[in-house]
């Protein structure tokens, strides 16, 4: 089951108590204090792992607590520190607090972030011995570990995002150009969860495409499947906006295109500013429908006026698909330096945020 949202409670281990003890041995008068320190509690650490695809495991594991430190003992024996609890999350997981503020983004495989630090162990009475207080009767308790509620949001790592109205052919296209096998049917909202596909664009070149469920008017207010899955195209460099031109008899493809564009704008996060290519799909059906042929011309003219790149394909027959893949690869090569520069700047901001929080 695909799960891209989870709410968890994390708690660092409590530090062990310091020991109040005195050395008592035969023939050793005034042995003095010998209470050891308590061990530090373990921390809860989140680590990104590219081999994990969803957050489904957190539906059954919502409370994460690290091991507490052991108490100190006599004979100056310090307690053992608690082990850190390392929890794997999918690469591409954003960590938010309860207010929705992004705390960190584990976008790369192997990244780690301390979600809850363990408490410090208490000091034993040996630590308090001085020349004027040779028999201290004080030992500190261990400190509690940090605890807080976090929200995990998975954002798929993809280069290209497919958007469009329901039944516009996104699933057909991703199954044509990659090995992904999403459900395909002739009714709206066939796709209920995002899908990823790896596309080969040459002997040594490939890119990842994300197919998300279709958008309808009012999606930003929760209509249809809403914009719940739009965050999966936030990381993409390029959007492919599919428009079904075979629906000209019952609707207007140009209006459909503008509806999706309005929803991208309403969703925020700069989705409406992403580079995109408008792709007219199902052109194999245009020949037998005069209205569809006229709609295709209107769509092409609307894109020309808006200075929006345009292409026409048939995902069912494969017409124009190879040319589209080549065009996408060329556009990604052009956008890659800009994306690396943006990610480098974003990484610097994350480092600054971590430093301020520590």
pLDDT at position 334, please?
86
Which single residue is written with the structure tokens 């965050």? 231
pLDDT at position 290, please?
75
| Mean per-residue pLDDT over the chain, rounded | 83
Let me know whether 169 and 127 are in one domain.
Answer: no
Kindly state whether residue 136 falls inside one of the protein's structural domains. Answer: yes
CA–chain centroid gap for 121, Å, is: 34
* C-alpha–C-alpha distance, residues 141 and 149, integer Å: 25
Range of the domain at 255: 160-349
Lowest model confidence (mean pLDDT) among 46-60, 162-176, 225-239: 225-239
Let me know whether 112 and 169 are in one domain.
Answer: no
Per the structure, the count of domains in the chain is 2
The CATH code of the domain that includes 319 is: 3.40.50.300
Tell how strand 5-11 and strand 147-154 pair up.
antiparallel
pLDDT tens column, 204-227: 788 888 887 766 555 445 544 456
The CA-atom distances, in angstroms, between 230 and each of 91, 150, 161 are 17, 21, 9
Model-level pTM? 0.71
Task: Identify the band that residue 358 occupies on the pLDDT scale cut at 50, 70 and 90.
Answer: very low
* C-alpha–C-alpha distance, residues 69 and 38, integer Å: 7
Kindly state whether residue 357 falls inside one of the protein's structural domains. Answer: no
* Secondary structure letter of residue 77 according to DSSP: B
Kindly state whether residue 98 falls inside one of the protein's structural domains. Answer: yes
Let me know whether 74 and 206 are in one domain.
Answer: no
Kindly state whether residue 291 falls inside one of the protein's structural domains. Answer: yes
Residue 85 has pLDDT above 50, yes or no: yes
19: its two tokens = 């020991």
Let me know whether 254 and 191 are in one domain.
Answer: yes
Residue 159 has pLDDT above 90, yes or no: no
* C-alpha–C-alpha distance, residues 114 and 223, integer Å: 37
Task: Identify the band that residue 133 occupies on the pLDDT scale cut at 50, 70 and 90.
Answer: very high
* 3-state SS assignment for residue 350: helix
Residue 332 has pLDDT above 50, yes or no: yes
350: its two tokens = 């994350």
What mean pLDDT do residues 59-66 have?
92
Let me know whether 201 and 344 are in one domain.
Answer: yes
Please list the residues that pair with 311 across neighbouring strands: 279
* Secondary structure letter of residue 71 according to DSSP: P
Between 255 and 40, whose confidence is greater? 40
Let me know whether 336 and 198 are in one domain.
Answer: yes
Choose one of 154, 181, 203: the last residue of a domain.
Answer: 154
Let me know whether 232 and 312 are in one domain.
Answer: yes
Let me know whether 128 and 187 are in one domain.
Answer: no
Kindly state whether residue 21 falls inside one of the protein's structural domains. Answer: yes
Let me know whether 166 and 312 are in one domain.
Answer: yes
Let me know whether 265 and 315 are in one domain.
Answer: yes
What mean pLDDT do residues 250-278 have?
82
Task: Identify the band that residue 232 occupies on the pLDDT scale cut at 50, 70 and 90.
Answer: confident
DSSP for 78-126? Answer: PPPPPPPEEEEEETTEEEE-TT--EEEEE-STT-EEEEEPPPPPPPPGG
Choose one of 105, 133, 154: the last residue of a domain.
Answer: 154
pLDDT at position 54, please?
82
Which single residue is written with the structure tokens 């994990």? 52
Residue 356 has pLDDT above 70, yes or no: no
What mean pLDDT do residues 240-251 have?
78
Task: Identify the band that residue 288 occupies on the pLDDT scale cut at 50, 70 and 90.
Answer: low
Kindly state whether residue 356 falls inside one of the protein's structural domains. Answer: no
* Contact between 58 and 76 (Cβ < 8 Å): no
- Listed residue (153, 118, 158) closest to 8, CA to CA: 153
Residue 1 has pLDDT above 50, yes or no: no
What mean pLDDT do residues 334-341 have?
70
Residue 77 has pLDDT above 80, yes or no: yes
The CATH code of the domain that includes 127 is: 2.70.210.12
Let me know whether 150 and 164 are in one domain.
Answer: no
Task: Identify the band that residue 253 occupies on the pLDDT scale cut at 50, 70 and 90.
Answer: confident
- Listed residue (317, 319, 314, 327) closest to 244, CA to CA: 314
Lowest model confidence (mean pLDDT) among 57-71, 108-122, 165-179: 165-179
Residue 336 has pLDDT above 80, yes or no: no
Q: Specify burial of residue 355 (Cβ count, 10 A radius: 0-12, 13-18, 19+).
A: exposed
Residue 26 has pLDDT above 80, yes or no: yes
Choose one of 97, 125, 154: the last residue of a domain.
Answer: 154
Let me know whether 215 and 66 are in one domain.
Answer: no
Percent of the chain with pLDDT over 70: 83
């Amino acid at each position: 089951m695909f799960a891209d949202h989870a709410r968890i409670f994390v708690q660092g281990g409590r530090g062990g108590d310091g020991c109040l003890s005195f050395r008592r041995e035969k023939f050793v008068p005034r042995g003095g204090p010998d209470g050891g320190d308590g061990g530090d509690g373990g921390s809860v650490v989140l680590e990104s792992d590219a081999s994990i695809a969803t957050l489904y495991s957190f539906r059954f594991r919502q409370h994460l607590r690290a091991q507490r430190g052991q108490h100190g003992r006599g004979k100056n024996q310090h307690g053992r520190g608690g082990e850190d609890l390392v929890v794997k999350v999918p690469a591409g997981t954003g960590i938010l607090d309860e207010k929705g503020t992004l705390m960190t983004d584990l976008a790369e495989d192997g990244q780690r972030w301390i979600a809850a630090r363990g408490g410090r162990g208490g000091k034993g009475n040996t630590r308090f011995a001085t020349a004027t207080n040779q028999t201290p009767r004080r030992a500190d308790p261990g400190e509690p570990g940090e605890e807080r509620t976090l929200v995990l949001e998975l954002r798929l790592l993809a280069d290209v995002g497919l958007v469009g109205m329901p039944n516009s052919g996104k699933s057909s296209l991703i199954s044509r150009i990659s090995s992904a096998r999403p459900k395909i049917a002739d009714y709206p909202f066939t796709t209920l969860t995002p899908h990823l596909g790896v596309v080969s664009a040459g002997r040594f070149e490939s890119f990842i495409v994300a197919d998300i469920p279709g958008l309808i008017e009012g999606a930003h207010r929760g209509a249809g499947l809403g914009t719940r899955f739009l965050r999966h195209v936030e990381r993409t460099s390029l959007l492919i906006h599919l428009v079904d031109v075979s629906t000209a008899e019952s609707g207007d493809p140009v209006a459909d295109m503008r509806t999706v564009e309005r929803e991208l704008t309403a969703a925020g996060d700069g989705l409406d500013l992403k580079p995109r290519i408008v792709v007219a799909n199902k052109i194999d059906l245009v020949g037998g429908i005069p209205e569809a042929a006229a709609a295709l011309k209107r769509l092409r003219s609307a894109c020309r006026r808006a200075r929006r790149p345009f292409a026409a394909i048939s995902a069912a027959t494969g017409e124009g698909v190879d040319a589209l893949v080549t065009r996408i690869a060329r556009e990604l090569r052009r956008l890659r330096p800009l994306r690396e520069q943006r990610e480098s700047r974003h990484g610097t901001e994350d480092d600054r945020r971590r430093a301020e929080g520590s």
